[in-house]
């Protein structure tokens, strides 16, 4: 792995998309007390939200892909808010919400789609605390939604 975050993104074949605009009355990011709080991000693929319910019409692999897409959107929001991903000191926590059937219990495996991405991009600084929660429905019918808390380097 190379030292540059941009090199890691390039190596992973990731081009950051334009950050998604809020769909209601909130802001995408708030910086306070050395932390950056990123509002929940949805899994966008080719301009469309990846929808569905895990254990019903989506399988584990699709859920992991959705979580990774949410992670990419988190990176785009972080980059926009801070001006550079190089200002990330550490990914502190991810909150992962998975639209899932009552008998689906692989939420932690779904969340790995985003967690593994953060470690791939930031190395040890990408390892984080996390919650992975099954919910009956998410905004716009999304399969997954993820928010983040990020420690930032002061300039």
The count of domains in the chain is 1
Mean pLDDT of 91-96: 98
d(CA 36, CA 39): 10
Separation of alpha carbons 129 and 41, rounded Å: 18
Q: What is the residue range of 84's domain? A: 5-16+30-152
- pLDDT, mean of residues 121-133: 97
Q: Average pLDDT, stretch 118-138?
A: 97
Give the mean pLDDT of 81-104: 97
Residue 1 has a pLDDT of 40
What pLDDT, in 10s, does the model give residues 3-51? 689 899 999 899 999 999 998 999 999 999 999 999 999 999 989 999 9
22 belongs to a structural domain: no
CA atoms within 13 A on the CB side of 107: 21
Strand 48-49 with 44-45, pairing? antiparallel
pLDDT digits (tens, 9 = 90+) for 44-83: 998 999 999 999 999 999 999 999 999 999 999 999 999 9
User: What's residue 115's pLDDT?
Assistant: 98
Q: What is the mean pLDDT of residues 102-112?
A: 98
- 24 part of a folded domain: no
Domain for residue 105, yes or no? yes
**Where residue 84 sits, what CATH number does that domain have?**
3.30.1330.40
Under 8 Å between Cβ of 77 and 149:
no
Residue 115 in any domain: the answer is yes
Residue 34 forms part of a structural domain: yes
Q: What is the mean pLDDT of residues 110-117?
A: 98
The verdict on residue 21 lying in a domain is: no
Bridge pairing between strands 35-41 and 144-152: antiparallel
With respect to residue 69, please indicate whether it lies within any of the assigned structural domains: yes
Q: What is the pTM of this model?
A: 0.96
CA angle 80, 36, 10 (to 5 degrees): 45
Q: 25 lies in a domain?
A: no
């Amino acid at each position: 792995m190379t030292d540059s975050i941009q090199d890691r993104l390039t190596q992973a074949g990731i081009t950051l998309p334009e950050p998604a605009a809020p769909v209601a009355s909130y802001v995408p990011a708030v910086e306070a007390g050395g932390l950056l709080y990123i509002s929940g991000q949805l899994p966008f693929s080719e301009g469309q939200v990846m929808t569905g319910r895990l254990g019903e019409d989506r399988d584990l692999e699709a859920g992991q892909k959705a979580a990774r897409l949410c992670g990419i959107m988190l990176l785009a929001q972080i980059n926009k808010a801070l001006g550079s991903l190089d200002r990330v000191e550490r990914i502190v926590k991810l909150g992962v919400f998975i639209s899932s059937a009552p008998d689906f219990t692989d939420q932690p495996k779904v969340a790995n789609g985003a967690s593994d991405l953060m470690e791939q991009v930031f190395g040890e600084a990408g390892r984080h605390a996390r919650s992975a929660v099954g919910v009956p429905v998410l905004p716009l019918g999304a399969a997954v939604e993820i928010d983040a808390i990020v420690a930032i380097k002061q300039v």
